[in-house]
């Protein structure tokens, strides 16, 4: 047994300290980023915010709605392959959608069949497991990279620098960072395992950037300010689930209670998800997610505008002309527990 004595931080534990700025307006801030990925050598330009590969959020409709803004979607794993073929053939910008997959033999075979039919229409792949620390996962990423040198690969989830380095050296271009911070994830309470998300982002970003890799902060953002904190902490991409839930472009049953209409939103390790996609919770495991009702929020475009406005405003407060500069201009101030929620 070992105890790490250094305090680790979540987004709610800090604020960004304002700094002198010469920016006259939020409109002057450029929040697009450009990357050339380590392994695929692919050039990316866009706003590096990604809708999570949850079956209620990572939908075709969400991808179509976010693409004009320059955002991306990690499609969920459960689409029929014929639907995936049709979608990728219609895709205008390859960076608008990540093909998501697990590491089972059936996942690999399904991907191979889709790829054979759409070719270079797929440029980005998200290899997604709950526990990115297994040898089987690392071996899968390594073999997948050998088989597909041109594809940009995002792989995760992990929360520590050493595993970030291992995944990048094994072929990942982007490492997905986060265990337990999501609004409908109960991994921390069910297993006792996790890592405060801001500290995970800072430490994994430092490890990744030393190897010319990238990270995607996955989970824990409940407001635009949290997205700004993630970018300020070094995240190259930020993945959102709950912040995009409940919109017209989301899947999920609509429920009406006391005259208010809601959409169901649940974690992909929840009982609801496993009953839908796996026939129930296997007898050797427990559900590690929950289901909630989110009031219908209309088209996602208004929420996107709010998110992008918040990030631009954060940049003006610290004098960052571009999103790339935000990390260099960020100083975090620790606050008393709950101060963010108490004082807004």
From the number of C-beta atoms within 10 Å of its C-beta (0-12, 13-18, 19+), residue 42 rates as middle
Choice among 126, 185, 204, 250 that is catalytic: 185
CA distances from 245 to 56, 174, 225, 269 (A): 7, 24, 18, 17
Residue 204 annotated as catalytic: no
Query: Which structure tokens are listed for 248?
Result: 């017209």
The phi and psi torsions of 110 (rounded to 5 degrees) equal -65, -45
Quickly count: other Cβ atoms within 10 Å of residue 25's Cβ: 8
The single-letter DSSP state of residue 240 is: E
Residue 159 region by backbone torsions, left for phi larger than 0, else alpha for psi between -120 and 50, else beta: alpha
Distances (CA, A) of 328 to 136, 142, 181, 221: 36, 32, 25, 21
Catalytic residues: 185
């Amino acid at each position: 047994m070992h105890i790490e004595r250094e305090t680790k931080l979540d987004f709610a534990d800090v604020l960004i300290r304002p700094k002198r700025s010469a920016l006259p307006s939020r409109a002057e801030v450029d929040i697009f980023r450009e990357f050339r990925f380590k392994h695929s050598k692919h050039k990316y330009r866009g706003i590096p915010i990604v809708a999570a590969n949850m079956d209620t959020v990572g939908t075709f409709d969400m991808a179509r709605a976010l693409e004009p803004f320059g955002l991306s979607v990690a499609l969920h794993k459960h689409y029929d392959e014929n639907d995936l073929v049709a979608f990728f053939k219609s895709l205008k910008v390859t960076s608008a959608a990540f093909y998501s997959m697990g590491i089972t033999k059936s996942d690999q075979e399904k991907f191979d069949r889709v790829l054979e039919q759409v070719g270079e229409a797929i440029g980005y792949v998200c290899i997604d497991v709950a526990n990115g620390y297994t040898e089987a996962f690392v071996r899968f990423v390594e073999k997948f990279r050998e088989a597909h040198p041109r594809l940009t690969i995002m792989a995760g989830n992990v929360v520590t620098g050493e595993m970030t380095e291992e995944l990048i050296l094994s072929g990942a271009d982007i490492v997905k960072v986060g265990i337990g911070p999501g609004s409908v994830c109960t991994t921390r309470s069910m297993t006792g395992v996790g890592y405060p998300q801001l500290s995970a982002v800072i430490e994994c970003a430092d490890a990744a950037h030393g190897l010319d890799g990238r990270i995607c902060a996955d989970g824990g953002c409940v407001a635009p300010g949290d997205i700004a904190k993630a970018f300020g902490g070094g995240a190259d991409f930020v993945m959102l689930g709950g912040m995009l839930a409940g919109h017209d472009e989301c899947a999920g049953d609509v429920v009406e209670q006391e005259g208010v209409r809601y959409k169901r939103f649940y974690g992909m390790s929840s009982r609801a998800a496993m009953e839908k996609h796996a026939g129930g919770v296997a007898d050797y495991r427990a559900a590690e997610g929950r289901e909630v009702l989110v009031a219908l929020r209309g088209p996602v475009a208004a929420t996107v505008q709010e998110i992008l406005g918040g990030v631009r405003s954060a940049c003006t407060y610290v004098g960052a002309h571009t999103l790339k500069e935000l990390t260099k201009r960020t100083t975090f101030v620790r606050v008393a527990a709950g101060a963010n929620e108490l004082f807004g």
